Amino acid sequence: MDILLALLTSVLCVQVAVSDLYARRVSNRWLLTALAIGIALMLWHGADLAQWRSAGLGFLCAAILLPCYAIGWMGAGDVKFFAVLGALLGGPGALLPVWIVASLLAGLHAMAVLAAPGIGARIPLGLRFALENTQARLQAWPPHQRMLAARHGRRGIPYATYLAVATLLLLLLGGPGA
C-alpha cells in the first residue's frame, strides 16, 4: 500500500474513532473527503486496472453489512465507513480481517455491558460506594454533559471505532493490502 494512502487511512481512522466515541456519529464530510483524496492519490500514482478493481470491489463489500443496518444492528455511518475503508484498503482480502477483529472487539464490549449489572452485586461495599460516587461525579462533570448532548440520545456500541482500531492494527502489522 502506498504510504500516502496508508497515512490518509490512518488519519481517517483516528478521526472516525474519536467522533464515534464522543458523539456516536461518523461524519459524511470526512468520509467523502477521504474517498476523494484516495481516488486522487490512485490517479496521481497511475493505479492500474487491478488496483481500481480492487478498490471498487472493496467499496462494494460494504453491501455485506447493509442487512445489519436494515435490522438496526449497525448505524449507517458504520456501513459508509466500511465502504470507504474498502476503497482505500482494496478488496475483501484486507476487509475480512478488519471486519473479524472489529466484530470480536464489539462482541467483547457487548459482553462487558451485559455483565456489568451482575458484577456490581459482587463488588465489596466500600468499593461499590466509591465507584458510585465516582460515577455520580462523572455524570455531573461539564465535559461529560457536553459529550452526552453531542450524542443527541444515540446509544450503542461504537462499531466504527472498532473498525478504525482494527484497520490501524492491520496497517501497523502490515496485513493484507498494507
Domain assignment present for residue 161? The answer is yes
Flag the least confident range among 133-142, 145-154, 156-165: 145-154
pLDDT for residue 177 is more than 60: no
Domain assignment present for residue 11? The answer is yes
Domain assignment present for residue 45? The answer is yes
pLDDT digits (tens, 9 = 90+) for 20-78: 988 888 999 999 999 999 999 988 888 888 888 888 888 888 888 889 889 988 888 99
Domain assignment present for residue 93? The answer is yes
Tell me what pLDDT residue 120 has.
Answer: 67
Kindly report the number of other CB atoms within 10 A of residue 165's CB atom: 17
> Total structural domains in the chain?
1
Distance CA 127, CA 163 (A): 34
Domain assignment present for residue 178? The answer is no
Distance CA 168, CA 28 (A): 20
Tell me what pLDDT residue 176 has.
Answer: 56
In sequence order, the 6+-apart residues with CB closer than 8 A to the CB of 20 are 26, 77, 158, 159, 160, 161, 164
- Domain hosting residue 90, numbered range: 3-173
Domain assignment present for residue 165? The answer is yes
